[in-house]
């Protein structure tokens, strides 16, 4: 499943092609919600955690969530598509570009009040919490943003049960948006935390450090190139996808297990991510 940095890069690629352009054609055979009118402008393309939001001049906001199968492609008119048309879930066409979202499980829309522009403020760019449409209003602070509100993250953590395992808390987008399975495993390794350690076992300072590092790593990987969480380690990752190989810190053998609710693959080092150890 794409993580927050991936969706941020998708938005950055689509934004120059779509924003400010007039909608020529819109097709979404499985769309739930209103359809933007042909002739309106594309006002913004925003990434909020793992969600991509495309805002139109008539107030329609189209939301996609790629999960494990979806992808966005950008074509010039007449280009040959890399995937068959029957896999297209959303097509947004302007005079110069065609943006196609393939196989996304979530394509839905809402209609938000059209706000007149405020002089001196930007009209496009990443969505702040205050400007989020209802479809993503439940999400925690977006950790890919330039200054995520870690105080708000701590407040949301404080409302969670103390016995909830960290492996679940880190993936909870209501707490903080953007962390996926890769960063979950890498953050737990970075902070020497066992995946099934309960949230109540770490104090406010440790929680702030954990999510501060999540934001730092996500921001560091917004540019092109392979994702890196531990510079100098072959492949750039400490434990994710490295089951059976040596931990770069203590040289114990990295393990993998399906943990959490819902169950997800998790990688960790039993040598330096200590008690409570996850069961096989």
Identify the structural domains of the chain with CATH numbers, from first to last: 4-136 (3.20.190.10), 150-268 (1.10.8.50)
Active site residue 270: no
Mean pLDDT by groups of 10 residues along the chain of 280 residues: 89 97 96 95 94 96 93 96 96 98 95 65 41 75 93 97 96 96 97 96 96 96 93 94 96 96 95 66
Q: How many Å apart are CA 88 and CA 30, to the nearest integer? A: 10
The residue from 15, 55, 89, 264 that is catalytic is: 264
Active site residue 264: yes
Q: What is the 3-state secondary structure (H, E, C) of 11-79?
A: HHHHHHHHCCCECCEEECCCCECCCCCCCCEEEEEEEECCEEEEEECCCEEEEEECCCCCEEEEECCCC
The residue from 9, 15, 36, 50 that is catalytic is: 50
pTM of the model: 0.85
Residues 6+ away with beta carbon under 8 Å from 266: 167, 181, 184, 185, 188, 195, 256, 257, 258, 259, 260, 278
Active site residue 108: no
Active site residue 160: no
pLDDT of residue 113: 81
pLDDT of residue 93: 98
């Amino acid at each position: 499943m794409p993580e927050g940095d991936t969706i941020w890069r998708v938005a950055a690629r689509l934004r120059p092609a779509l924003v400010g352009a007039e909608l020529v054609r819109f097709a979404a055979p499985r769309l739930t919600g209103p359809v933007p009118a042909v002739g309106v402008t594309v006002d913004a393309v925003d990434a909020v955690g793992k969600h991509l939001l495309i805002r139109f001049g008539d107030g329609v906001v189209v939301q996609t969530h790629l999960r494990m199968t979806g992808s966005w492609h950008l074509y010039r008119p007449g280009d040959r598509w890399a995937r068959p048309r029957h896999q297209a879930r959303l097509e947004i066409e302007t005079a110069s570009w065609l943006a196609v979202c393939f196989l996304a499980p979530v394509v839905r829309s809402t209609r938000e009040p059209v706000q007149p522009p405020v002089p001196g403020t930007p009209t496009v760019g990443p969505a702040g919490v205050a400007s989020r449409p209802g479809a993503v209003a439940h999400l925690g602070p977006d950790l890919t943003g330039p200054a995520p509100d870690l105080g708000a993250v701590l407040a949301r953590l404080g409302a969670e049960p103390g016995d909830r395992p960290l492996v679940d808390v880190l993936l909870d987008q209501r707490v903080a948006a953007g962390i996926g399975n890769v960063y979950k495993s890498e953050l737990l390794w970075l902070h020497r935390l066992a995946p099934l350690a309960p949230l109540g076992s770490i104090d406010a300072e440790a929680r702030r450090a954990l999510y501060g590092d999540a934001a730092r790593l996500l921001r560091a990987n917004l540019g092109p190139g392979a994702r890196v969480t531990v510079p100098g380690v072959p492949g750039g990752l400490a434990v994710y996808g490295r089951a059976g190989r040596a931990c770069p810190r203590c040289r114990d053998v990295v393990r993998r297990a399906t943990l959490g609710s819902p169950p997800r693959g998790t990688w960790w080092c039993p040598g330096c991510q200590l008690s409570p150890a996850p069961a096989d």
